[in-house]
Amino acid sequence: MNEPSGLAADISRLESAAQAHSALSPYQMHVIIDPPGEARPGDALIPAPTIMVHFRGHVQEEASQAQDITNYWAFASLVSEDGRIALAPPSTSLVSGRLIGTIREPNDADDGEVGYAIFKDLCIHQPGSFRLRISLMRMPTADSEASEAEGVLNTGNVVTRVIHVHDGAQVPPLGE
C-alpha cells in the first residue's frame, strides 16, 4: 500500500494525533449552528457557524478535574466536500473572515456546557462544494508536560454540513 507523502502525510499525521489527544481531553464539541447550505462567492456565511464545547459525558466530577477552558480556542479551516482534504489553509485566497474563535462562557449554560465559539464574517471566495472543519485547540501552559510544551494541541474536530458556493445561490435577505 502506498504511504501518503508531503502535505497529505502531514495532514494524516496531524489527524491521527488529534484523535489520540481527543480521547484525553475533558472536552468535546458539536456544531450548534451550521453555515447555510448555499452561499454566493465572497458573501458572508449567515448564519455564522457556531460550536458548543461541553464536558465529555456531562459528568459533573469532571468540572473540578478539567483543564482551564481559557487555554482552549477553536480554529476553522475550509475542507473538501468529503471533509478529507484541507484547502484553506494552506490556500489563503479561498476563505476570509474570523477563522479563530475564542471559547466564551454561555449566559445560561445547561449541565455540562462550558462555552461556545462563533465564526463571524466567514466568506468563501470561489465556487465549489466545501465544509468547515472546526478544531478545538489547547495552548500549552507553564504546567504542561514536556511533550505538550512544544506547541498547540488539536484536541478534536467537527465538520459542518456541505456549503455549495455558486453565483446563483438562493440566500435569504438579512433579517429573515
Condensed to tens digits (0 to 9), the pLDDT of residues 71-120 reads 899 999 999 999 999 999 888 899 999 999 999 988 876 767 889 999 99
Q: Is the pLDDT of residue 1 over 50?
A: no
- Amino acid 58: pLDDT: 46
Q: What percent of the chain clears pLDDT 70, i.e. is strictly above it?
A: 70
Please give the average per-residue pLDDT across 135-152, as a whole number. Answer: 70
Q: Which string of DSSP letters, residue by residue, matches the chain?
A: -PPP-HHHHHHHHHHHHHHHHHHH-SEEEEEEEPPPSEE-TTSB-SSPPEEEEEEGGG-THHHHHSPPGGGEEEEEEEEETTS-SEEETT-SSSEES--EEE-B--TTPPTTEEEEEE-TT-EE-S-EEEEEEEEEEE---TTS-TTTTTS-EEEEEEE---EEE-TT---PPTT-
Q: Is the pLDDT of residue 4 over 50?
A: no
The tens digit of pLDDT for each residue in 14-38 reads 455 444 444 567 888 999 999 999 9
Q: How far apart are the first and last CA of the chain?
A: 51
CA distance 66 to 36: 33
CA distance 7 to 89: 11
- Amino acid 29: pLDDT: 92
Residue 163's identity, in one-letter code, is I
- Amino acid 21: pLDDT: 47
The whole-model pTM stands at 0.77
CA distance 72 to 136: 7
